[in-house]
Structure 1
Amino acid sequence: MNNYISPLSNFIRSFLLSIVHTFLLLPVLFLFLKINELNGFYFFVLFFVMTQIIAALFKKWWLYFLIQFGTITIFLYYTFPPSNKQMNFIEWLSLIWQYGKTEWTTLLSTSMSTIPVFLATVCLLFLITLLTYTSIRQRLAMPSFLIALGYLIVIHTFTNQAILSTAVSVTGFGLLLIGLVHIDHRFNTFQFLKSAGLTALLTSILIGITYWSITPLRPVQEWLEKSSEAYQQYLNQQGFFDWIRARSPQSRYQQIGMDTDDEVLGGPLQNDFTPLFKAYTETPQYWKVLHRMEYTGSGWNSDLPSDRSLATSPYEPENVDLLYGTTPKKPAEIQETTTLVWENPVDYIVYPYGWKKLEIQNAPDDFTMLASNINGHHRVTDSRQDISSYTITYDAVSLGSIDDENFHQDDGWRTLLLESLNSNTEVPMFDADLSLREKMVQIFPDDLQLPASLPQRVTDLAVELTEGIDSEYEMVRSIETYLKNDGGYRYSLQDASQTPEEEDYVDQFLFETLVGYCDNFSTAMTVMLRSVGIPARWTKGFSPGSEQTDTDGKTYYQITNANAHSWVEVYFPSSGWVPFDPSPSFSNPMTRTEADLAAENSGSSFNENDMPEEGSPEAEDPEVQTPEETPDEETPEETERGSEEEIIEESSENNSVTSSEESLNSWYLLFLIPIFFILLFTFYFFSVHLKVAIWILEKLIQKNKLSLLQASRWTLRLFQIKKKKLSNQTFENYFEGLDLSVNEYSDVLNLFAHLLNQVFYGHETAKDSLSAEQKIILLDSLQVLKFLPKYKN
């Protein structure tokens, strides 16, 4: 058993290396899984830790890889379990093999818009296995360190991920691992631990100094980023970043679209003009999906609401005036209908403001929908028949008919409400010392919620913008105008930054980056309105889309993923929740101002993202405006934010791929995938190449394929890979320097040294074939070579 299990002293050394190796790679592994939206981090951690223990415990390389193969199989079995309990293990292996082949075929035939989960998992498991063997058994720290650091460099180059702290950690533990593997193996356990402790202390001091220097050196980093901005713009003009984006599965840009997870907002986006649905209506309008109420500092709480209830078609929403739109004071309602036709079966319901009824024609009996009055989200849950269209009845009077007078009627409603609630002077409801906002929070806790960590300067800015304004409506417009026009903020999908940890999403946008897209603008407005006591909530859905005409002459609006949008809803007692849009170049049809209407009449689009790239199917339709046809320079908001070229570049940002680009992408995949596996194979060969080389040399010697000179020379070269022979060393001194403690090894090497002296310095006929005795000496020497503990070049 001693031939298979590492001695205690070696196990302690290997286990210490395993701990450092774990701290080196796990942060990078977490970052990789997070960026590529892969689940199961704790399963990977468990597998990683088990791999380190196995590498430290077993000294036979073939035993390590055999155990690892079984561990990988078990891990895959629990990660991708059988579809039913009756499936046996062999059937599962066959199924998982077919699944892998399917992902491989898909990977080769399509663009890498999403990462293949199974193949990525398998590659990660084998990469962890190889890196661990190389670091722990072969005592080579550089492969793990360079792979981890190289990946961080790539992420920093092509993303806005905050990696500085991770890079410091990787560098520190990488240097520590390099130091530990170079401690002389002849040291006893106490000497090794002493040297390891000093190495760890020096590395910790280095890491501490680096962390302390992060803040003071931030101006230097900003200067470097500004200095390289011209080069980045040049690369962008040459299409370099577009090329990277088209082939990197979510490594830098996430595609714009509807997502129900808003826990963490921020980061750059790329447009996706994939069609979603057609809305047959002659009136452009915003299409709502849901709203959020709890701001966390990094995004919006996306937990499923507890009030979700089953609904069937036809469906009439409850509390429609307060939840789903505005109901102005009009003598009569004008009911209109719109039919939404989806490209794929319906997954969630989108609806216009003022909607009263949803009906699915020929709805199946088993159709059900989860409807929530808390966040307005309606999701189709079960249907044996695909549903791809539905009809909504809505109040058309509300659209575009809300003017300033409607809102000014509600001015002062908060003060009147508080006075009525606190009319009983004997038992006052509120403390006299409370501010207006603090009193309102007690009445509208959800719609005025703000995290305790919100920086004070956000509130100060909101107070400054609304100071001296008595009208509730004018306060809302003041904040909206500041974000849309007067604050110097720039709309950009590409240049939006991710929020660093421990910083506030709104605060970073308002005072640090000043660049973002709809999520930044709408969240900022919602938070600032709440800061001054005005109930507001964050809303998601789609902008109006592009107006088109079908073959029957019917007008419809085409909505794509690029129309995914967010805005703000503000509460007014007489009208309910009213939408406002602070994003530059966007104008909500319900509350657009005269300036918005003037811009609309001059030809600008409701949404700059509605305009597909020239050459895409939509741009080829003469009914659809292209970016070149849209006079962006006439829009006042955009004029204040940059040159015409910058606006066109921003408005035409997209992810369309022409046929030639698709061909290039296919060749790129065909080139990338084999190279990736060749690198893995090369890395594996590098990890165990001596064992492979020894095995080949043994076979050649046994079959008399080499002369004495060739066999001796190649055997000596393999020894020198372990430890280089100095020019002034004799063969005897060289082998003594290997310091093998077993006398049997020393005897074999003494015979080998004598043979080498005869071959290189004696009168032995070196070109003759090997004798039986010489074969034994060479083969025994190769066996000793297997037990040398590490490289010492």
Structure 2
Amino acid sequence: MLNGKAGEWISIVLYGGSMLLLLEWIYPLDEVTKTGYTSTFVMFIALCFILSATQLAFWIVSPIKFLGLLFVLHQLFFQPSFLSKEWVSLFWDQIQLNVAFLLTADWVSLTPFFRTLLFLILLWMLSYLLYYWFAVRKKPFSFILFTFVYLTVLDTFTTFDASTAIIRAFVIGVGIMGVAYLQHLLEKENMRMPAMKTLMMWIAPLLLVIGFSTVVGYAAPKFDPIWPDPVPFIQSTAEGSGFGDGPGAGVQKIGYGENDERLGGGFVQDDTTVFYAEAPGTQYWKVETKDTYTGKGWVRSQEGQFERTEGTLQELQPYSDLVELNEDYASIQFEDPGLLDKLVYTYGAEAVTYVQDSMNFDVNAITGEVIPVVNGETALPDAYRIDLQRPSFPVEDMRSVTEAGEADDQYLQLPEGLPERVVRLAEEITSEHDNRYDKAKAIEEYFSTNNFIYETQDVAVPGEDEDYVDQFLFETKAGYCDNFSTSMVVLLRAVDIPARWAKGFTEGERLSGENIFEGSKPEYEVTNNNAHSWVEVYFPNVGWVPFEPTVGFDNNSSFNYGERQDDQLEQEDQELEQPETPEMPKPEEGQEQEEDDSQAAAGWSISKPMQFTLIGAAVVLLALVIWLIIRKRLVIMSKWKGKRLEQHADVDTFTEGYQFLLQALAKKGLILKEGQTLREYASDVDLWFGHGEMSKLTTYYERVIYRDEPMDEHHREVYRLWNRLVNEILA
């Protein structure tokens, strides 16, 4: 018969294993859903399991769990002091509001607070259920099986990579099954728990099998999948049901497509490689542009004229002399282009070179298309090289454009049924700016500072009486690149700024350790997942300039923030005279010697006991100073960093200040998670403090680091945001 103490320990081990398995259900939520702060739920689960394992009375455990539940809600949603009168009032208001939604079956309107409350109650109930099945019944197999099914489904149908999670679940599951079988064997044979030495002889082989299986399974070479990826298969066989290229709602397959008449609806990922690229840096790969927005999607008002060339592409992007050009090249090698039958190229493309004889290129300066032709038929080459004159767009010259219009009417077109509130929003966003560039930047940055979300699956499709842009701007605020880019074009045109819709691919993923090309430039793998759309704005003294409004993406084009070229010549002859430093008088020869002698005499006049006392006091004082410096090091460093940031408006100082801010936040417990973007982390920090200062500061930081924008204009605002955040952290 198994003794009570041994049985309790086995129950605790099994119950602890069930908690670890349940955590494997929580970890993926951060990636595959909109659930944030999963670490908070992990701590609540640990609290519930620990309290259940104590086997204390129900009337003791339940109030503690309930307080833990309330504290989690407090940390996530409430600003007043915990359980204060104002806090209780807000809590009760939320309960009443959501109960009203429940009574009317208005499930969509349930607030995040109430959804989180229901989720916490579910975790509470699961802690009881798993205690019964693992610690009491000792029947762990079903939950282990469900955990494997859950992880494999997520790995197959979402972007979550469950490789490591499955290994962890395997180790935990086999360990639990081994302990459960040991307990079952001891009870069946009516045996006592063996001595530790005997027990280790039983457990050692189990640990050896688990360790060996894990290492072999992880390190062994993996065969390619026998069956194709089910997601693309389902897409390809579901034509007519909302899948594939073309107008209509439903889930679509990501990748390049011709038909953009009906935008909207979610899509699933497809990591099929379209092409490999060798490029001087991160580049957007352009395919074509469209000019007419219908309220539902994009079409062309004119197809343009194709000109047959032997490879010249200069007509695609004619830039003025104000644009600085740098000679370079890029190489493309197609792998699986799918529906793509046009060349991809980057900004500044001057000519395309291909080794195949008799290949020509039909170039359309209006639509931006480059179609390769062999003997009158379209034939995409396997590989080609592009000669580049990479542009650096002059910001100050673009700011000189203050008037509207100055472009073909096709790039100012808007549908007749466009809701008036879209136009009012565009005017509101740009009201503080007097030139075309700053207005375009204000619209570009509007999405990243107003709680818009990048979403690829749960994306709305406008009804017959709804406008695609209006729905995104005012109702859903969730979508992918087509939503963001189309909305920016419409907002620009609403304030008479000519713009058009561009599509192609982002830069892809940089390869390491592979040599697809023989050159020395970075190499990238571009997949269907990198299909993308963005915005081009016309500046009459420059040309078409790309802008990137999509949240989470950065404009890879180069911008020159120096002075206007017309003004640079005027300052070449202006030099400021440096004042001469006055020469300080030298001390007289006898004076220094007299001071040294007097100091030496004063030193010898102190007795030895007094010297030891002073030395001891100095050591204690030094130790105290060191202790205070260590204890207050963040405060001291904040003063020094703040002073530097206040006096210097350069990238290095801003970077040092921002990194110090991350360190201070980490000391407070707000740690930047692995794989988490700075914008996601900033949102977490803002939710903690109850304001949006960290997101604003991060926006400036990304613009300075990734876009090479000078911070002179925003220096005071950057310092104010940084100083406020540091003060709140150290308060």
Q: TM-score, normalised by structure 1?
A: 0.41
Q: TM-score, normalised by structure 2?
A: 0.44
